[in-house]
Amino acid sequence: MDKLVIEGGRPLKGSVTVSGSKNALLPILAATLLTPEKCVIKNAPLLSDTYTMLRILRHLGVSAEIDGSTIHVKSGKLKKFNAPYRFVSTMRASFCVLGPLLARLKKAEVSLPGGCVIGIRPVDLHLKGLKALGANIEIKEGYVCAQAKRLSGKQIFLGGSFGSSVLATANVMMAATLTPGTTIIENAACEPETVDLANFLNRMGAKIKGQGSPRIEIKGVKYLSGAKYEIIPDRIEAITFAIAAALSKGEVTIKNVRVEHLSAVIEKLVEAGVKVKKGKNFIFVKRTGSLRPVDITTLPYPGFPTDVQAQFMALMSVASGISVITEKIYPDRFMHISELNRMGAQIFRQGPYSIVHGVKNLKGAQVMASDLRASAALVLAGLIAKDKTEVFRIYHLDRGYENLDKKLTQLGARIYRGKQ
């Protein structure tokens, strides 16, 4: 098992190019199940999650090949309709095959999902939406077993305890594309990754409008064709590099970004005293003075993303004052606190709130990653910590960042892989 070893204290300088969005790619790969024709997906990040999704597709009978950052997929005649536990247990987004399989084959068996340990993430909204379309669903031995003689469009409210659900919106939207009638999703997710999926489906011949708003309308069609499509840049990776530059007192140009997707976090970086220059498809990040404390609250898009909460906490751990970080998406997503405290941070949790007392310096330590974004936060903390930091269980990191250690090395960081 690999670990990352980081020698902190070097400002990051130079430029880095952001990879395609993981959270956009995975549902789009699932959507290729809706057509027997060939689909070509460009700007695909080559991550462990990407390979897991391709293994699921191949299990179902799909032909899938990788050529650089381009994935060629042809679903043809599907041989199976089940997604086994050994795949779905490692990656929550793989649950997105449920909607496409149900729409195309009128039956599906998909294991209940796993993924990062960041708190309870039920699939009730997925099932609520698919049931509303006419599916009969049972939970048997840890599998969602769905079938339908006929699906029909409906108006569906997908609101949950913590707001909208990106993957539930994706699952219902994909199923609705081949469902007769008009389906309206109320309280739909507005995230850019949901918009990207809708745009891909429209490229295939779907009739979707309203993506990016809380109300999405889908008019069912009889057939979807193959399509060529380029994935949007990964906004979470872009912000991770921006925070890395700010933490290290560096000067970094981050290329291949959609600046409009980063507004909530850029605003908070500027509030913290970080200089951010916005260009057409890049941002330039620089910090020279001390960091000011900033309070944040995670919210569905366009609010502050939960996937950046851990990284921003690492930034606030060395700010000159006290910050309050409120997690309203996954209230238990704070497992990185104890590891940051091992490095000298002073962070105290009270329910969904974390109080961060900024310290002057962090110290290198052996730390354990609990999930994808916690991994990134610990790596960022290691960039500024005195002495050496060792981050274990970095397989979490490899699920969502393409060559993060290599990209940081190109910016001047001292970071390398070793064996535990």
**Structure-token pair, residue 163:** 């707001």
Q: What is the mean pLDDT of the chain?
A: 95
Same topology between domain 2-19+233-419 and domain 22-219: yes
pLDDT band, very low/low/confident/very high, at 142 (cuts 50, 70, 90): confident
CATH superfamily of 22-219: Enolpyruvate transferase domain (3.65.10.10)
Q: Is the dihedral of CA 220, 221, 225, 229 positive or negative?
A: negative
Of 39, 96, 116, 190, catalytic: 116
Residue ranges per domain, the chain?
A: 2-19+233-419, 22-219
Q: Residue 384: pLDDT above 80?
A: yes
Q: Which residue has the higher pLDDT, 343 or 420?
A: 343
Report yes or no: 8 and 387 within 8 Å, Cβ to Cβ. yes
Q: Residue 156: pLDDT above 50?
A: yes
pLDDT tens digit string along 44-86?
A: 999 999 999 999 999 999 999 999 999 999 999 999 999 999 8
Query: Whole-angstrom distance between the N-terminal and C-terminal Cα of the chain?
Result: 6
pLDDT tens digit string along 302-329?
A: 999 999 999 999 999 999 999 999 999 9
Rounded CA gap, 343 and 361, in Å?
A: 9
pLDDT band, very low/low/confident/very high, at 119 (cuts 50, 70, 90): very low
pLDDT tens digit string along 255-290?
A: 999 999 999 999 999 999 999 999 999 999 999 899
Reduced to 3 states, what is the DSSP secondary structure of residue 171?
Answer: helix
Query: What is the reported pTM?
Result: 0.96
pLDDT tens digit string along 170-228?
A: 999 999 999 999 999 999 999 999 999 999 999 999 999 999 999 999 999 999 999 99
Q: Residue 293: pLDDT above 90?
A: yes
Reported as type and span, the H/E element at residue 48 is helix 48-59
Report yes or no: 8 and 227 within 8 Å, Cβ to Cβ. no
Q: What is the architecture, at CATH level 2, of domain 2-19+233-419?
A: Alpha-beta prism (3.65)
Reported as type and span, the H/E element at residue 193 is helix 192-203
Q: Residue 105: pLDDT above 80?
A: yes
Verify whether residue 190 is a known catalytic residue: no
β-bridge mates for residue 109, sequence order:
82, 145
